[in-house]
Amino acid sequence: MAKFAVVFGTRPEAIKMAPVVQAMRENPQWELRVICTGQHREMLDQVLEVFQIRPDYDLSIMKHGQTLEDITVRVLQGVGAIFRDWRPDLVLVHGDTTTAFAAALAAFYERIPIAHVEAGLRTDDLSNPFPEEANRRLTDALATIHFAPTEQAADNVRREVRGSRDIYVTGNTVIDALLAVVRDEYQFRTPALADLDFSCPVLVVTVHRRENWGAPLVGICESLRRIVAEHHCQIVVAMHSNPRLQAVFRERLSGVEHIHLIPAPDYKEFANLMKRSKLLLTDSGGLQEEAPALGVPVLVLREHTERPEGVAAGTCRVVGTDPERIVAHVGELLTKKEAYEAMARAVNPYGDGRAAQRICRILAQKYTG
């Protein structure tokens, strides 16, 4: 019986690996164990509940004020101990988090093969986003099997990992997860969302990247004030749990009419909010893939993106954090129907909701029989 370990620690990782876990559990010839590092405790638990995943190991490494070094060391030691006690045939990690890199490194030290889900994303700037760009490059260098979401991502791996033949284009599992939870009849539980008037345009905003802390976030807040002053719309800011970010949002935007500050909703709540929104403004990576699957245009609040396929397809625009640029792009999409429809109707390049099935078929060819 083939033995597999799936490792994740953050909410985005759990969302994107949940379809893989669910699909792998359908194979009676596999022994699957889920290892959760608990890097983002509360946000992570919400996702585990939605997808009914109970980890076999929970390291609970989250501590107040922890540094990237702290996370790396705790994951490396905790996951490494599990691998020495129970040796899987393959370790699956996801994306660009510190958990993914440290878990891959732990597997490498134990000479256990690694599969990287969402391999090959690049901005070609090690400092942007930080530390994610380094994490994903290092994880790809350690991995034995690469599951790339697009052909361009696969080409990135082929260029960097010379001689590797185990590179597969599968689409992104985040689309699998998204389509499993959105519903036309969904009823919001968050009071601010349940009372929201969706008859006028609703813009959703998320910001959390380290490179946007400080002055860039202040500029984003300024642009949001200007947008509601110039256009008939409402803005929902789904605030990250980081108190440092919440403090800036509350200081700059509390009491501004038509701007609603809410704690980040759970995954199902947020997915259905996004489905009903007019426009998404975000510095998130995964949301650049999710929103277009729902026909929602994305303005990327960063200077670089590791998902250029969305920009090329017309589903996303990279607008940075300068208030003038943000206001101008939002204004164009709210006032020019042709510009909006071109983005809303563009074909999402990140998959069709069957990425997890493709991954399992590939693994079955390698590990079953």
Torsion of CA 153, 307, 292, 205, to 10 degrees: 150
Pairing of strands 114-117, 57-58: unpaired
Asked about 304 being catalytic, the answer comes back as no
* 211 is known as an active-site residue: no
**Identified catalytic residue from 118, 133, 222, 290:** 118
Please tell me what DSSP assigns to residue 211: G
118: annotated active-site residue = yes
User: Catalytic pick from 40, 74, 96, 133?
Assistant: 96
Catalytic residue, chosen from 41, 208, 226, 252, is: 208
Q: How many CB atoms are closer than 10 A to CB 229?
A: 11
Asked whether the bond before 131 is cis by omega within 30 degrees of 0, the reply is yes
**Tokens linked to 189:** 């539980």
Given the residues 122, 240, 307, 358, the one annotated as active site? 240
For residue 67, the Cα-to-chain-centroid distance in whole angstroms is 21
Residues 6+ apart with CB under 8 A from 86: 3, 5, 33
CA dihedral 252, 11, 171, 337 (to 10 degrees): -20
Selecting among 11, 94, 132, 289, the annotated active-site residue is: 132
210 is an active site residue = yes
- Class of residue 327 by CB neighbours under 10 A (exposed 0-12, middle 13-18, buried 19+): buried
Mark whether 40 is an active-site residue. no
Identify the CA nearest to 317 among candidates 350, 351, 291.
Answer: 291
Is 231 known to be catalytic? no
Contact 277, 288 (CB under 8 A): no
Lookup result for tokens 């986003």: 129
Q: For residues 235 and 205, give the distance between their C-alpha atoms in angstroms, rounded to a whole number.
A: 7
Sign of CA dihedral 286, 6, 129, 148: negative
Which residue among the candidates 41, 210, 225, 354 is catalytic per the annotation?
210
Structure tokens at 23: 């699909």
CA distances to 136, 140, 239, 287 from 280, rounded to whole Å, are 25, 30, 14, 9
List, by residue number, the catalytic residues: 96, 118, 132, 208, 210, 240
